[in-house]
A = this chain, B = another copy of it.
């Protein structure tokens, strides 16, 4: 193999055989005003509850909140980079938005294997985002995971 030829085995993530019920991983992020502005730009979701502090102060939230899909993006990041990581295919995700996320909140997104469907190499995960002790988002995901060659 030439020194410049790429071996994608080093890029690929975990295999189906590496998973077990209870295996878990997380990612976390302190949500900044810039994150909200960037998410508004990339999604087109310019709802003033995210962008307009005066309007947001008039709502039940009492101030600007992050887009729910920004927390969902953190779940996607755990799947795409940590558990299982590159090579997996995102099949489905359910999301229940339980509480708002405000600027300065640190969101922890955790995914945990709850079921393995061996014949279809699919893994079911619980997916929870929390700020401190408060669950802000929960749901379930189904991921197709490659087997070892």
Inter-subunit contact A95/B97 (CB<8 Å): no
Give Cα A8 to B56, complex, Å.
10
Interface footprint category on A: 35 or more
Q: Is A80 an interface position by the 8 A CB rule?
A: yes
Residue ID in chain B nearest A60 by CB atoms: B89
Q: Check A35/B27 contact, CB under 8 A, given A72-B72, A94-B93.
A: no
A2 within 8 A of B: no
5 smallest A-B Cβ distances: which pairs? Answer: A43-B73, A47-B80, A45-B77, A44-B77, A45-B80
Tell me the A residues contacting B by CB distance below 8 Å: 6, 8, 11, 27, 29, 35, 38-39, 41-50, 52, 54-55, 58-60, 67-70, 72-74, 76-77, 79-81, 85-87, 89-97
Given contacts A11-B52, A44-B73, A67-B80, could you give 5 more A-B pairs where the C-beta distance is less than 8 Å? Answer: A35-B42, A43-B76, A47-B81, A47-B85, A94-B95
